[in-house]
Amino acid sequence: MELHGNWSYPTQILFGNGRVKELSSLLKSHGLKRPFFVTDKGLMNQKITKDTLNDIVSQGFEYSLFSNVDPNPNELNLKDGLRVFNERNYDSVIAFGGGSALDLGKMIAFMSGQEREIWDFEDVGDWWKRAIEDRIVPIIAIPTTAGTGSEVGRASVITNSLTYEKKIIYHPKVLPSGVILDPKLTVGMPKYITSGTGMDALAHCIEAFCSPHYHPMGQGIALEGMRLVKENLLLAYNDPVNLSARAHMMSAAMMGATAFQKGLGAIHAISHPIGALYNTHHGTTNAVIMTDILDFNRNEIEPRIIDAANYLGIDHGFDGFRNFISELCQNLDIPKNLSELGVENPDIDRITEIAMRDPSVAGNPRVMTIDNTKELIETLF
């Protein structure tokens, strides 16, 4: 059965193999004429990028290409992108690539007409209301990985290059106006990116599912997202051209990002400072610390995890679920701890301090304190 669909939740989504060729039509349908194309350095010269750009040029579109996007994008990347964007009269942003390119592209669209600095729009209270809303240009998002789900998010994660903190910048209009999910674009991912991004999607689903906040829609989406990862991530990892597995993983990534409106937790609160301080891959970091944080939260989440295990066909309740995660990481060649991931001479106190300021702390099922968080982080090495 071909996996193909047009969806309007949580935004306009064109899903299916080869649908990137509909980019020109999508731009026209939104009245967009001069897109600013944001991708990452590794994709800039790849065939999928060149083919996409050639397609829109053949339809009469002009564009500018920007690719100065770090793996953990920061305000310096944003400043460079805004300088190029503001040189000419662009009316939109096409964010094309992995989570880093999507996050930065969304922020270029958001900040292009703002008068405050980016940190004034952090996801704190109603700070988003500080934005000049009618100056936010439309965004078209085209992911080439299956992990962050940033294509359906109302926020971006940007690293402060001075403090090494990852900040979540939020505004409702940062949600892309249109999304193309084309599984063929993910076929060329290196295996370690397939594994890391896939585990990121799983982390989003698990943390959303376990969050104590009330959001029944997020709860259901998170559970089905877990099932899609369980049944398809290893298939995509071992058989990169399996388009059905790739398609289901793209759906799982989108679902995880939709579900975590319900909340995230300690996995993200800790992986954010680890990534910012030591430049580790976000999804892989999530995978490395996942089972330890399940153990940390066990007393608060065991009944829910048992329910999830039953739905997923995993025997032996919480322990069976934990073993499934552990075996999945082993089969994906995920490092066993943060030391194996390459984090050397960690500053535990600093990691703890930054983690405790991360908004994901509020969604963790177990109350996180400086003492229990520091003890948890020490076990991760």
* Complete domains list, the chain, with CATH: 5-185 (3.40.50.1970), 187-379 (1.20.1090.10)
pLDDT for 1 beyond 80: no
For strands 165-170 and 35-38, give the pairing. Answer: unpaired
Q: Which of the four pLDDT bands, split at 50, 70 and 90, describes residue 372?
A: very high
Report how far apart, in Å, the C-alpha atoms of 191 and of each of 15, 332, 333 are: 23, 9, 10
DSSP per residue over 244-264, as a string? HHHHHHHHHHHHHHHHGGG--
Strand 165-170 and strand 155-160: the pairing is: antiparallel
With contact defined as beta carbons under 8 Å apart, do 197 and 146 qualify? yes
Q: Which two tokens stand for residue 262?
A: 């319900």
Q: Are 44 and 98 in contact (CB under 8 A)?
A: no
**pLDDT at position 280 over 90:** yes
Quote the pLDDT of residue 2.
Answer: 78
Question: What are 291-346's pLDDT values in tens digits?
Answer: 999 999 999 999 999 999 999 999 999 999 999 999 999 999 999 999 999 999 99
Q: What are phi and psi of 92, to 5 degrees?
A: -170, 170
Tens digit of pLDDT for each residue in 20-40? 999 999 999 999 999 999 999
State the chain's mean pLDDT as an integer: 96
Mean pLDDT across 286-291: 98
Which helix (H) or strand (E) segment is 110 a member of?
helix 99-111
pLDDT the model gives residue 89: 85
218 has a pLDDT exceeding 80: yes
* CB distance 249 to 211 below 8 Å: no
